[in-house]
Amino acid sequence: MKEKKDFLIGRTVMVHPDITADPWGKRGRTGVVTGFLPGKKAAYVRFEDGSSGLYADDTLLTLPSLKAILHAIHVNGRTLDEKGHELIMQVFKLAMQHKHADALKLAVKDEKVAKLCTINCFDYREQKELLQTGKGLKR
């Protein structure tokens, strides 16, 4: 039986702009997940310049689902100033157009927007796995 492809493979990610140790020198750069070490705690990322690096999954940011971004806008929209509101709407628009690298780059320009529109890959995986198993659903 063929092994199921991991849902993070092929996903656009950004190396967290605030990580302290970055042996590959790609802090704040975007790329695509190409594979994992056994145990799936570290991902291989291919960057826009063609180079690759290995990063812990909690140091990689990705976009949550469009539904999650819309929920963040609905619930937290009033806590954002006008600039932040415009920014989050631009991030949403870029995500809808599948311009994920551009959306990530824009989202991290504002701390509040980054908290609403990005998630590290460790947390993303946990949330996705809980939803797939039904353990994250309230009955």
Note whether 47 and 29 are within 8 A (CB).
yes
What local confidence, expressed as pLDDT, does residue 4 receive? 53
Output the pTM of the full model. 0.88
The string of pLDDT tens digits covering residues 5-34 is 678 999 999 999 999 999 899 999 999 999
Of 131, 93, 91, residue with least CA distance to 113: 91
Residue 83 has pLDDT above 50, yes or no: yes
Domains and CATH numbers, the chain: 12-60 (2.30.30), 64-117 (no CATH)
DSSP codes, 27-88? TT-EEEEEEE-TTSSEEEEEETTS-EEEEEGGGEEE---HHHHHHHHHHHGGGS-HHHHHHH
The string of pLDDT tens digits covering residues 28-47 is 999 999 998 877 789 999 99
Residue 131: pLDDT band by 50, 70, 90 thresholds? confident
Q: What are phi and psi of 124, to 5 degrees?
A: -60, -45
Residue 67: pLDDT band by 50, 70, 90 thresholds? very high
